[in-house]
Amino acid sequence: MHGKPVRKAVIPVAGHGTRFLPATKAMPKEMLTVVDRPVVQYAVDEAIEAGIETIIFVTSRNKSAIEDHFDTAPDLMATLARSGKTAQIAQLEKMQPVAGSVSYTRQQVPLGLGHAVWCARELVGDEPFALLLPDMVSFGAQGCMAGLMDLYHEVAGNVIAVEECAPHETSSYGIVGMGATVRNGFAVTDMVEKPDPAVAPSCYYLNGRYILQPDIFELLASQERGAGNEIQLTDSMQRLAATQPFHAHPYAGRTFDCGSKQGFIEANVAFALRRSDLGAPLAKSLAALLDDHRSRAEIA
């Protein structure tokens, strides 16, 4: 089955990052770094790897650092060239988006994820689009969005990425129900927000990667406010599922929630350990820190 091609990706970056204050008082939370790359860069790289041609950022006030990051920096490049830092120049050139491939629109009022997605409607137009929540940073043999694209090419419709959690953790996530299996995933029979483990339809949770049909915009426009008095994307997805199929792709890698302090720290450690220039010495340092932590805990 083949649907319309997915050419555009929406990345919401309008949040205030209050959980990371005071670090985010003047810096967008999406510009906090996992090792040496901003969190938002991982989402953009993942989208491009999956074949996305246009990135649409939904921003808010005080997010100009994100625009600057994906813009050219002639003064910096000139300084690097004078210093003979060719490796850094090559790295910056590699991450530079193609001219005209990045767009920005603002969410003037913080009314939730669903409202942020709705703000991108004019830039997306009447075509399916990818949605990547930049707080969710992952690694694996294949990028999560690339795997989602594989499933979309097989089933069309709407597809969502999921990962498996422990049964007692279902009350912390949006959980999906499992239907018939397909080659790269399974049909979604239900979407439940933070269900009690006793009634959860499965242990598969939404991990922040989606491919959605443009019909979602009309539903978001009329969506009543839900949890947190905000317009919730999941509520409109549930309404859309009444008329259109949803399938889920179980991601085989690992995702870190960099919107939380613990997840952000875990991501930094995990990504650093995977690097040839940092892994071995960091592992040694971490072992020493853990020994010291245990010793202090025993004394206490």
**pLDDT band at 290; cut points 50, 70, 90:** very high
113 in Cβ contact with 225 (< 8 Å): no
Element (H, E) at 64: helix 64-69
**pLDDT band at 2; cut points 50, 70, 90:** low
Query: Would you list the DSSP string of 198-216?
Result: TT-S-SEEEEEEEEE-THH
- What six digits make up the tokens of 91? 């790295």
CA distance 125 to 214: 7
Residue of 278, 34, 276 lying closest to 138 (CA atoms): 34
124-169: pLDDT as tens digits: 999 999 999 999 999 988 999 999 999 999 999 999 999 999 999 9
- What six digits make up the tokens of 74? 């002639």
149 in Cβ contact with 251 (< 8 Å): no
185 pLDDT exceeds 60? Answer: yes
80 pLDDT exceeds 70? Answer: yes
94-121: pLDDT as tens digits: 888 888 899 999 998 888 899 999 999 9
- What six digits make up the tokens of 71? 């813009």
pTM: 0.92
203-223: pLDDT as tens digits: 999 999 999 999 999 999 988
**Mean pLDDT, rounded, of the chain:** 92
